[in-house]
Amino acid sequence: MLSHGLILTPAVTTDRVDRPPVGYHASNRHTGIKPERQNVDPNKLAPTQQRLDHLDVLRGFALLGILMVNFEWFTRPLQAIVLGVDPGLGGLDAAVDWLIRALAEGKFYPLFSMLFGAGFALMFERAEARQAPFWGLYLRRLLILLVFGAAHMLLVWAGDILLIYALCGFVMVLLFRKTPTGRLWKWALVFIALPVALMWLGALAIWSTQGDPDLHASIMGEFETEASALHQRVAAAAEIHAAGSWVENVGQRLDDARFTLGNFVFWVPPILGYFLIGRWLIATGRLVRPDQHRLFFRRWRSRGLIIGLPLAVLGAGLLHGANWSIPTPSVALGLTATTVGALFLSLAYLSMVTLGSDRLRFLAPAGRMALTNYLLQSLFWTWTFYGHGLGLWGQLPRASHVFVVLAFFAVQVVLSTLWMRHFRFGPAEWLWRSLVYLRMQPMRTG
């Protein structure tokens, strides 16, 4: 869903970590780019032979996290995202839900978004090194991704992130194409902090009305009326998902899409911010040659856990059962803790996986076909839970979600491994790449 994101950089053709990074020139020495022959046919740049393997491992790990978080929203109305914890949970179900919110929710969309920005930077540097056209192809890539996202959002699951990624990608290209490396972090922090600032402005505005009891009561009454209407929409959506036809669910997804896009200021700026951090990680060479920056990753592993974990726990506690649509000081403080905690924890997760990528190499095949696996997750689980499929809506206890997710993802890893032994791309990645280059791409290896 929107708060969890996906990293989509199929067919990013870069050298393995045991080779020099692609393309070096003096103006960008941090990326380790070296000259490369020009006019290279994209079909001859076999991604199965020229990849930064640790990035595939990171994508695979993030794919597991995305499923762990999204799973709740395959079996709960999407608009309930602002209502906090399901009030019907108790005991073990409530404990598992709290752990997922503290350790996973809001922690994996930053990771995926950083990888998306990293993929952009890698493709740009490679094209620049061989003086090949880039911007037209990349804009076409984003346009096709936007179409994929719109279709996925309306036809399969309203929690789609692809459309938002495409829109953020356009903004990044148009506004930050030539931003100096040193400024990427600064802009990133501005965008990540924007929703928090807006929430605090709302909370302070409401607090300032306490001197006028009538005005304060009127404002809070409007918020409560909207909250009541939201609860009614959530209940109606649950009925449609549980027993409605596919056509009825398409109508519900249209309503969910309006709700999601109507609150874009809380989703889009942070994603764009993490895109820029990903670009910074490539521009400074940290994700190009992680073996030369192990101290950086060790430090972020430590500080990310030391700072991020307490803040994530605090945020989960403050937002437990809170209605995010009402900007109270408690909600604003909870969002602040959650946002800062997510920044540190996502960088800790990135650092931990990067440092341990050799031991986690089995995740790489799933990461290489992340788009395909992401779409399969939505297709399979909406069919499983929705009334036009198996109709198991609401029948899986929350505590069981962890085990179901781990089992399903294990199957995805196995199937991805088998698939990538014979093919260069996942099916969705192949379609995307073929549409970008306007010709059928070779599918089989060898």
Reported as a single tens digit per residue, the pLDDT across 362-381 is 999 999 999 999 999 999 99
Output the pLDDT for position 128.
84
Give the structural domain span for 87.
26-437
> Which residue numbers in the chain have pLDDT < 50?
1-7, 9-50
- On whether residue 306 sits in a domain, the answer given is yes
Residue 1, in any domain of the structure: no
| Structure token digits, residue 112 | 């995926």
Q: Does residue 379 belong to any structural domain of this protein?
A: yes
Considering the domain boundaries, does residue 260 fall inside one? Answer: yes
Q: Which residues contact 352 (CB under 8 A, 6 or more apart)?
A: 301
CA angle 272–274–279, rounded 5-degree value: 95
φ, ψ for residue 34 (rounded to 5)? -120, 160
Question: Do residues 325 and 82 touch, judged by C-beta distance below 8 A?
Answer: yes
Measured CA to CA, the distance from residue 213 to residue 353 in angstroms comes to 53
Task: Please give the angle made by the CA atoms of 46, 417 and 376, to the nearest 5 degrees.
Answer: 95
Residue 314 placed within a domain = yes
Residue 362 token pair: 């089995």
Q: Which single residue is written with the structure tokens 């050799």? A: 358
What pLDDT, on a 0 to 100 scale, did the predictor assign at position 170? 94
Q: CA dihedral defined by 248, 253, 258, 259, rounded to 10 degrees?
A: 110
Answer yes or no: is 172 within a domain: yes
Gap between the Cα atoms of 225 and 222, Å rounded: 5
Q: Which residues 6+ apart lie within 8 Å of 286 measured at CB?
A: 293, 296, 297
Counted domains in the chain: 1
The Cα–Cα gap between 98 and 228 comes to 24
Q: Cβ(271)–Cβ(172) under 8 Å? A: no
Burial of 8 (0-12, 13-18, 19+ CB in 10 A): buried
CB count within 10 Å of CB 417 equals 15
Furthest-apart CA atoms within the chain: distance in Å: 75
Matching residue, tokens 């093919």: 423
State residue 199 phi and psi, 5-degree precision: -65, -40
Q: What is the pLDDT of residues 392-412, one digit of tens each?
A: 999 999 999 999 999 999 999
Question: In the Cβ-directed half-sphere of 332, how many Cα atoms lie within 13 Å?
Answer: 16
Please name the residues in contact with 218: beta carbons below 8 A apart, sequence gap of 6 or more: none
Q: Is the dihedral of CA 101, 106, 109, 110 positive or negative?
A: negative
Asked whether residue 14 is assigned to any structural domain, the reply reads no
- Closest among 339, 315, 331, 328 to 193, alpha carbons compared: 339
Place of tokens 């752990």: 99
Q: Which pLDDT does position 274 carry in this prediction?
A: 98
Q: What is the pLDDT of residue 51?
A: 63
DSSP string of 226-282, one letter each residue: HHHHHHHHHHHHHHHHHH--HHHHHHHHHHHHHHHHHTHHHHHHHHHHHHHHHHHHH
- pLDDT of 264 reads 86
Q: How far is the CA of 212 from the CAs of 215, 218, 219, 332, in angstroms?
A: 5, 10, 11, 22
For residues 72 and 120, what is the distance between their CA atoms, to the nearest angstrom? 30
Inside any domain, residue 5: no
SS3 291: helix
In the block, residue with structure tokens 């995202």? 81
